[in-house]
Chain A
Amino acid sequence: MEFFLDNFWVIAALPLFASAFIAMFARSLRRNAWIVGAASMGVALLWSLAVLVAVAGHGEAGEAAANYLTTPVRHLVWADWAPFGPYRISLGLMVDNLTALMLVVVTLVSFAVQVYSQGYFEPSERRFTRFYAAINLFTLGMLGLVLADNLFLLLISWEIMGLCSYLLIGHWYEQEWPRYGQIKAFLTTRVGDIGLMLGIWMIFMVTRDLTWEGLAVKIPEAVQNPATAAMLALAAFFIFTGAIGKSAQFPLHVWLPDAMAGPTPGSAIIHAATMVAAGVYLVARSFMIFGNVPEWVLITVAFVGSFTSLFAASIATLRHDIKEVLAYSTISQLGYMIMAMGVGGWAAGNFHMVTHAFFKALLFLAAGSVIAAHHHNQLLHKMGGLRKKMPVTFITWMVGYLALVGFPGFSGFFSKDEVLLAAYTWQPEALAGVPWVAKLPFTMALITAFLTAYYMTRATYLAFFGEPRDQELYEHAHESPKVMTIPLVLLAIPAALSGWFWAALPYHFTHAEWMKSLEHFLHLPGLEHSVAFAQEATVTGMATTAGLLGIFVGWYLYAKVKPETRAAWIEAAKPLYTLIRNKYYVDEFYEMAIIRTTQAAARMIAWFDDHVVDGLVNLVGDIGVWFAEASAWFDRNVIDVLVVMWADISRAFGSVFRRLSTGYVQQYMVTFAAAVVACVVLFQVFS
């Protein structure tokens, strides 16, 4: 086990190799590319499991670590990667408990997706190898993100994932929607990325260091100075904007639903399980910044997260496209994780990130199975009754469904409980005077729990239960091949059971409360909180009640109430329905306020450049030309006239004297003789 831990870099090297190999030999590999991808990812998965076991064997994390950072179990550094004057940006990889856990999550989901995609893509698919190369490159990015020991390497991995996300959304770029979606995704996250970069620049200015270990030492020192602390708070806020972009939080959530234009397996890994969780991971990893700076930053984080979860969940209730429901659900669940970070539930947020990765990837792949069986129909109201046709898909979907709604015993139940508990016990000092404000995140999260159960029940009912709504599609529906159902089962196991994972950790036996082993495995030194059993029981009770209530309402509305009655109710709440159905008009607002404005500004600047700046240049040139023309005029009309005048005078004389030359030789001779005589006479006279 220690061997695997010592050589943990192999895990990141494998997808890099696979990606390069597939890209290079795409022509000869063709359909076989999946073997390369799945095999390398399988090895990476086993390797990650070995690393996780080894790390868990090292016992509790971070005993000797600094403020808000666990001590890495293994650390590889290439120090002289980029020397900038006296400072160095090193390329470093490290493994600690959180990383070890994330390695398994990423490789497992990636492995499942790579096996699954082989069956998902039609034989006629022409960009099969492109998909596999991109997925492997993406996996490299995500692994690099969790392994990075500094902010810079994290940023690079972060952007590589952004590129892969762009490539995968635009997989079918002949169509309009993918082309729209991919640009929207890249640019929206890019806005957040600029914030993240700005945060990094600010932090570098204060600490001159970007490694987690260096920051953990220097940030607490730096915040002693109030001015620096205020600046670091701003830096933390900007870093958080990066997370807002990547994790699709309000107000930068708009790209994720349109990211669904890509192939479903890609959505499963990138836009559900891993990449979008990178924002959460970023906040978790840089908690030495968030935890040390003034409190308003974490309060902002908590409110953004909780508001987003409620906001997205409300939109999800009215979506007709099965992938869109899942997309908004993802935004909502990411809001949970962000909120958990904000309220100090570090372990809870990470826990939810892990379980969510499993069950949401599962739901997406199951949805993909339904879509593939349904001739790429994604609309819920054309489905129905599919449980009989697709039993394995149905069962695995139900596992994911129960995990997501937080049904007791399934993984989501535990993690969501932890998140809600952290929100419930949140007592920020800054909000001590207004306790009801401090309770808002929890309240919103609780409503979200209800809405989540409702919309998932609605989607499940519409897809799998009831009578088929489109008979023809139903007739053609069939269970997916084994290559697709096996990954579903593979993911269903952790989706159901990963809540119990903590029970399996070695130190569980030394602690009576087994839930506490989570807190021990994912333990952030410096962040302590204890909760009373009463609080825990209260929260569990409330959350479970909300979830069951949501399930009941959803079932009642769609199984019992007649469609006509539903329509009447919708009519009664028309304004609210229209508002939510149009996603609160955020897209329209951006279209108007940002895209149009930018385009207009760009056109204006181009005009300015062409006419004003360049006009000035041309004006200078024209003035030169005018001056030259004026000189030429002067030359022609003044100087030349003078010259010509002399010529004219000469000509006038000439025209008189020319009469003398008649051309008769003898006349000349007479003249000559006369002149000689005259000369002689004159000579005689004057001598």
Chain B
Amino acid sequence: MSLPIYFPLGLGALLFGIGLWGALTRTNAVRILMFIEIMLNGVNLNLVTFNRYYWAQTPESASLASIFTLFVMTVAAAEAAVGLAIILSISRTRGTVEVDKFTMLKG
């Protein structure tokens, strides 16, 4: 008895969509960071799903997607750490974490 593949893929897409929506609409930098994490998790779910799906057909590449997932999680952790550190220092120097206040890169 196996779950049809559309279910986990659909959940993954939903997660990604929620994440994207949140990242584009929220202005608080911490929230944006959290939504980005959600996007990453959606992607991870995709990866794990495909891993399970292809394992049945090509056993030699069994752990490839799992390793990639682990990388994404590690990088996401690092990214969260760096991102939080940046946000912290921004809030310290600027006194706010609202991203629409930061337009220093305006050309």
Known contacts A660-B107, A662-B103, A664-B99; 14 additional CB pairs below 8 A are A658-B107, A661-B107, A663-B102, A663-B103, A663-B106, A663-B107, A664-B100, A664-B103, A666-B23, A666-B25, A666-B27, A666-B32, A669-B23, A673-B24
CB-nearest residue of chain B relative to A659?
B107
CB-nearest residue of chain A relative to B26?
A666
Shortest distance from the beta carbon of B84 to any chain A beta carbon, whole Å = 16
Q: Does B56 make an interface contact (CB < 8 A)?
A: no
Shortest distance from the beta carbon of B98 to any chain A beta carbon, whole Å = 11
Q: What residues on B are CB-neighbors of A665 within 8 Å?
A: 32, 99, 102
Which of the residues A658, A659, A662, A666 comes within 8 Å of B24, measured between beta carbons? A666
Task: List 6 contacting pairs A-B, 8 Å CB cutoff, sorted by A.
Answer: A658-B107, A663-B103, A665-B102, A666-B23, A666-B100, A673-B20
Interface bits A650-671 vs B (CB < 8 Å: 1, else 0): 0000000111111111100110
Q: What residues on A are CB-neighbors of B23 within 8 Å?
A: 666, 669
Which of the residues A657, A658, A666, A670 comes within 8 Å of B99, measured between beta carbons? A666
Interface bits B18-49 vs A (CB < 8 Å: 1, else 0): 00100111010000100000000000000000
Main secondary structure of the interface of A (DSSP, over half): helix
Tell me, in angstroms, the Cα distance from A673 to B99 when the chains sit together: 18
Q: What residues on B are CB-neighbors of A663 within 8 Å?
A: 102-107
CB-nearest residue of chain B relative to A662?
B106
Tell me, in angstroms, the Cα distance from A665 to B107 when the chains sit together: 13
Q: Which of A657, A660, A664, A670 has the most CB of B within 10 A?
A: A664
Tell me, in angstroms, the Cα distance from A664 to B107 when the chains sit together: 11
Shortest distance from the beta carbon of A435 to any chain B beta carbon, whole Å = 123
Q: What residues on B are CB-neighbors of A659 within 8 Å?
A: 107
CB-nearest residue of chain A relative to B105?
A663
Tell me, in angstroms, the Cα distance from A462 to B73 when the chains sit together: 141
CB-nearest residue of chain A relative to B20?
A673
Tell me, in angstroms, the Cα distance from A665 to B23 when the chains sit together: 10
Shortest distance from the beta carbon of A648 to any chain B beta carbon, whole Å = 18
Shortest distance from the beta carbon of A552 to any chain B beta carbon, whole Å = 128
Q: What residues on A are CB-neighbors of B107 within 8 Å?
A: 657-661, 663
Q: Give the interface size bracket for A toward B.
A: 10 to 19
B contact residues, total (Cβ < 8 Å): 14
Asked if residues B99 and A661 are in contact (CB atoms below 8 Å), the reply is: no
Tell me, in angstroms, the Cα distance from A673 to B107 when the chains sit together: 21
Tell me, in angstroms, the Cα distance from A665 to B25 when the chains sit together: 11
Shortest distance from the beta carbon of B16 to any chain A beta carbon, whole Å = 11
Tell me, in angstroms, the Cα distance from A662 to B24 when the chains sit together: 15
Q: Which of B27, B32, B100, B104 has the most CB of A within 10 A?
A: B100
Q: What residues on A are CB-neighbors of B99 within 8 Å?
A: 664-666
Shortest distance from the beta carbon of A229 to any chain B beta carbon, whole Å = 107
CB-nearest residue of chain A relative to B23?
A669
Shortest distance from the beta carbon of B83 to any chain A beta carbon, whole Å = 12
Asked if residues B24 and A661 are in contact (CB atoms below 8 Å), the reply is: no
Q: What residues on B are CB-neighbors of A662 within 8 Å?
A: 103, 106
Interface bits B76-103 vs A (CB < 8 Å: 1, else 0): 0000000000000000000000011011
Tell me, in angstroms, the Cα distance from A659 to B107 when the chains sit together: 6
CB-nearest residue of chain A relative to B36?
A669
Asked if residues B106 and A669 are in contact (CB atoms below 8 Å), the reply is: no
Tell me, in angstroms, the Cα distance from A664 to B98 when the chains sit together: 11
Tell me, in angstroms, the Cα distance from A592 to B24 when the chains sit together: 109
Tell me, in angstroms, the Cα distance from A469 to B72 when the chains sit together: 139
Q: What residues on B are CB-neighbors of A660 within 8 Å?
A: 107
CB-nearest residue of chain A relative to B106?
A663
Shortest distance from the beta carbon of A651 to any chain B beta carbon, whole Å = 12
Tell me, in angstroms, the Cα distance from A93 to B27 when the chains sit together: 122
Tell me, in angstroms, the Cα distance from A662 to B100 when the chains sit together: 10
Q: What residues on B are CB-neighbors of A673 within 8 Å?
A: 20, 24
CB-nearest residue of chain A relative to B29?
A665
Tell me, in angstroms, the Cα distance from A77 to B20 when the chains sit together: 124
Tell me, in angstroms, the Cα distance from A661 to B20 when the chains sit together: 21
Q: Provided the pairs A664-B99, A664-B100 are in contact, do residues A669 and B24 lie with their beta carbons within 8 angstroms?
A: yes
Q: What residues on A are CB-neighbors of B105 within 8 Å?
A: 661, 663
Q: What residues on B are CB-neighbors of A666 within 8 Å?
A: 23-25, 27, 32, 99-100
Asked if residues A661 and B106 are in contact (CB atoms below 8 Å), the reply is: yes
Q: What residues on A are CB-neighbors of B32 within 8 Å?
A: 665-666
Q: What residues on A are CB-neighbors of B27 within 8 Å?
A: 666
